[in-house]
Amino acid sequence: MRTDYETLLLERRGPHVLLLTLNRPDRANAFNTQMGLDLRDLFTGFYVDLEDVRCIVMTGSGSKAFCAGGDLKDRNEMTSQQWEQQHAVFEQKTRAMMDCPIPAIAAVNGAAYGGGCELALSCDFIYAARSARFAQTETRLGIMPGAGGTQNLPRACGVRRAKEIILTAEPFTAEQGYEWGMVNKLCEDETLLDDALATAARIASNAPLAVQQAKKSISMATQVDLKTGYAFEIEAYQRMVPTEDRLEGVRAFNEKREPRFQGR
């Protein structure tokens, strides 16, 4: 796994947990083309090789912003062609995150506006500091969400609430996000990262193949009808039966010890 990304900091936190920090604090961790390329490369790489990572925690550098979305200073006076070319990179980044088999937790430590809110929503769930703020501000800029916002936000908080958030472009608090079902856990600012990393460690301690297959199956729940979704679940379940991890899990239970999963 590369560790020399221009806009990302990567740090192992325990044997199987990766802390991913968006690192453009001078621009509120806003996306430029390079950050899009860096995220695309990282998550595409995980689709090919998991690098023994079992859970990712994503946060922002500094204390004021998780990610302010697209860098509007960088985008100022862009031609339509330049804008579309940059956004194509962002689209590929979003698809790479969607396809990544490793669970990801967004630890939102400040403003998550526009594409930053979409980035948090592209993770599997969100922990947020009480001081964090969210918004889908695109309609104030003459555009609309284009990194999964119109798809992930309704799935998180319902269609009617998502319409209100996107169409008004009004910011909302972490507490509101929690009440609406978008944020899984409200954390004190000083404990946010520890809370997210503790949950990541708990996920990483479980059988990795089982976690990956369960994630895929859960993601299907909102995309297909019940019977088709259940058929997908059973197919995913059957892949676990012949694994060494299944044998180890049952053996560890009977021997009253912690299992030692190998991802096989």
Query: Of these residues, 118, 188, 233, 248, which one is catalytic?
Result: 118
Q: What tokens were used for 61?
A: 């550098």
DSSP-based three-state secondary structure for 251: helix
Give CA 90 to chain center in angstroms.
Answer: 14
Contact 67, 126 (CB under 8 A): no
Contact 193, 59 (CB under 8 A): yes
CA distance 219 to 208: 17
255 catalytic per annotation? no
Query: Of these residues, 51, 138, 175, 258, which one is catalytic?
Result: 138
Point out which residues pair with 12 in neighbouring strands.
18
Q: What tokens were used for 88?
A: 């194509």
118 catalytic per annotation? yes
Q: Which residues are catalytic?
A: 118, 138
